[in-house]
């Protein structure tokens, strides 16, 4: 009888242990996500092998070779024509500048500098979205050809 009770208690304990472990796991994942949000990745891989750290913010020169598609997308985008350069939104490869390095720039600290009225309008319409670029691809908003092609944004309006 006592062994039965022991078995039952043991079973109960295992159950609680799993719950606690799961909670801890969830907390760890949350913590990780929070850290990701609060302290975005500190550097771009270029930081490790920059030929001239003095010119670290001339991202385009290097990315034209390293990631030609992204570089070309930027060049042909509105940001490219207006010369809103990489570092304005993404910071510098070594993260040592005044803008923290981020692959996905933060809406509040970055986009709002210029697009505050639009962000407010979007929040009013669709609620708070994690990132602008889910609907508006930053680099593919060309001035010349198919301007303002934003497939997802168009769909959601309908």
**Shortest distance in whole angstroms from residue 155 CB to another protein:** 22
Nearer to another protein, 15 or 125 (CB): 15
Chain contacts with another protein (rule: CB under 8 A): 11, 14-15, 18-19, 22-23, 25-26, 29-30, 33-34, 37-38, 53-58, 78, 81-85, 87-88, 91-92, 96-99, 106-109, 112-118, 128, 130, 143, 147
**Which position has the token pair 């509105």?**
78
**Which position has the token pair 């302290």?**
39
Contact 91, 99 (CB under 8 A): yes
Q: What are phi and psi of 20, to 5 degrees?
A: -60, -45
**Shortest distance in whole angstroms from residue 68 CB to another protein:** 18
Nearer to another protein, 137 or 158 (CB): 137
| Contacts with 147 (C-beta within 8 Å, 6 or more apart), sequence order | 141
């Amino acid at each position: 009888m006592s062994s039965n009770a022991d078995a039952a208690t043991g079973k109960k304990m295992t159950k609680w242990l799993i719950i606690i472990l799961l909670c801890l796991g969830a907390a760890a994942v949350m913590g990780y996500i929070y850290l990701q949000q609060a302290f975005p990745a500190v550097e771009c891989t270029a930081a490790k092998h920059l030929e001239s750290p003095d010119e670290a913010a001339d991202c385009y020169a290097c990315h034209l070779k390293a990631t030609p598609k992204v570089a070309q997308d930027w060049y042909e985008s509105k940001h490219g024509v207006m010369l809103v350069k990489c570092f304005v939104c993404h910071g510098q490869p070594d993260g040592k500048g005044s803008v923290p390095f981020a692959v996905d720039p933060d809406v509040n600290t970055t986009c709002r500098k210029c697009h505050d009225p639009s962000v407010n309008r979007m929040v009013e319409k669709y609620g708070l979205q994690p990132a602008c670029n889910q609907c508006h691809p930053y680099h593919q908003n060309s001035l010349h050809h198919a301007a303002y092609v934003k497939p997802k944004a168009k769909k959601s309006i309908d």
